[in-house]
Structure 1
Amino acid sequence: MGPQRDDPLTGRRTLLAESRAGRPNDLDPASGAGPTGEGCPFCAGAEHRTPDPFDQLLAGDGAWLARAIPNKYPAVGQPEQGLAPGLHEVLIESPRHIDRVGQMTPRELRAALTLAGRRLQAAADDDRFAYRLVFKNQGRSAGASLGHVHSQLIALEELPGLVVEEVGRAERFFRDHGHCATCDLIERERAAGVRVVAQTERLIALCPAAGRQPCETWVMPRGHAPRFEQWVAEADALLELSDMLGRLVPLIEAAIAPHGLNWLVQTQPGGVSDAAYHWRLEIVPRVGSLAGAELATGLGLNVLAPEIATQRLRAALQEQAQ
């Protein structure tokens, strides 16, 4: 059997990537590693310990701000490597040894978002890949193995099952209503007001009604925009997004401490029209782990109502502004 396997009963797909078992792990207490950055391959000065970058953003003095490198322990890659076909990159988001978004400077955050957009665009330009995702595993509970702040890009030739379902729902909604489901959601949430955390000229942040975890927050453009990589390429839009995330993510980190979080840049995949898809950035705290009911049913179990989470995050934003 190959590295890409489908369960005949449930339809779930699993990708075998046995080489990932050898990843370094400085977040495992048994490793004896500490948070000082000593020996970290992602820090400035350790570039010789990583593959040559696909892309990097440089400061005025020539020092790098963010780098995209091949993942040395890929989940997907070349079939001759015994992997399911795809692309797997690491996006190193700071030359400093910091471990969370809340420690990033505004310049570092802008560079990280710019690099994410550029790598998503590069993957989109490759006709092999129908699906592209930038995701962050921050903290041990969120699946991180190295503490140094970073994201990853994964690109696949086929759409995952959940994405196929979302694409189908998006196209059906557009066919039935003449506008996109996300635009509809934004207008309904703005009218209700109870789950809107923050708004700017271009962006809205809200705690989705069916959020999977406490303080789960989605950031989306208020105007229709299918692709993150195109939207963030505009300088004013990039500044607005980095400013919102720079204010909001540290508050989420504080609210869920000491737990980790994932963030997922959901951009337009193949198989869905521009008019039907609307990009979003999902910030998903990892306060609870998947237990038996979730594994068996796929249902989410959230112990904090999104409406209460919204009130807490709004209050924290107001206090921050004072």
Structure 2
Amino acid sequence: MNSISRRIFSIFCAAALLTTSTVTHASNTISDAYIKKISDSYNLDPSWVANQASKATLNPEIITKMNTPWEAKPWHKYQTIFLKQERVDQGLEFWSEHEETLAKAEAEFGVPAQVIVAIIGVETFFGRFKGNEKVLDSLYTLGFHYPKRAKFFSSELGHFLALSHEQGWDPAAIHGSYAGAMGFPQFISSSYRAYAIDFDDDGKRDLLNNPVDAIGSVANYFAQHGWTKDGCVTESVELTEQAKALSQTSTKIKHKWQDFEQAGLKTTLPLSAQDKAMLFPLSMDEGLTQYWLGCNNFYVITRYNHSRLYAMAVYQLSEWLARDKAAQ
């Protein structure tokens, strides 16, 4: 190659690199202001944040999944996803394998072993399905291309970058759910930073690969959100005409037991007059509706996933697990 050819080739390569850089930047709508905000909030090097953020890519399939969640199904269809003998059998194996850890978590945090097992069973089938979406892409897509949840997910992206820096992760290499949840218990980044614990004392909080840390972290999450040891969860009830007005579909706990008692509702749950409670419907097959009374612990399960269907699936799976465990 002569000198003129080398110069032309060099100019061509430089132009190609510039074009590639421009295209990458153009495909990513993360602003310099956002980079500065995250860098300042978590005391991170702005150049590191900008470099990691530049790797995020829009994934339209994430938005499609976000708009069609399982929790939009009626209860009689939703429950069939999780309440299966196969999941119970696998749960009992998981329980047996980690019996000492689960007993330790129950003793330390007051959360029953079957509830911890049920959470991990519903979330990832005991670690078998942790999600195959790039968390960086999921959070970028939802934080910058999904307006109705942009504030939440752009905040989670910041937490994820901070978490990746703290854990020594390559952010682009971490996979999880379409909503950016990770590991055995599917913690979102802010929850991972706030509630994950090192339950085997190996110096790491590893929810991605360590079921022991996952068990302890689920128990800690519930305890930190107000789980009451030996407290009630939920029970089906016969609806009275007066109690209809107290029924709700949201997961915000609005009433006390005395409100329902005065409306003629009856329960065997150990509730005192001032105990918080919620009454909610579940859509059954053939157009029927079941009504359930939820205690504070039911509300706590909805702090993990803000869906009464989710909380009911966890509760019923935990009861099934406990029955089959006792029968072994």
Q: Which bin holds the TM-score, normalised by the shorter protein?
A: under 0.3
TM-score normalised by L of structure 1: 0.27
- Structure in which a larger fraction of residues adopt helix: 2
TM-score normalised by L of structure 2: 0.27
Larger radius of gyration: 2
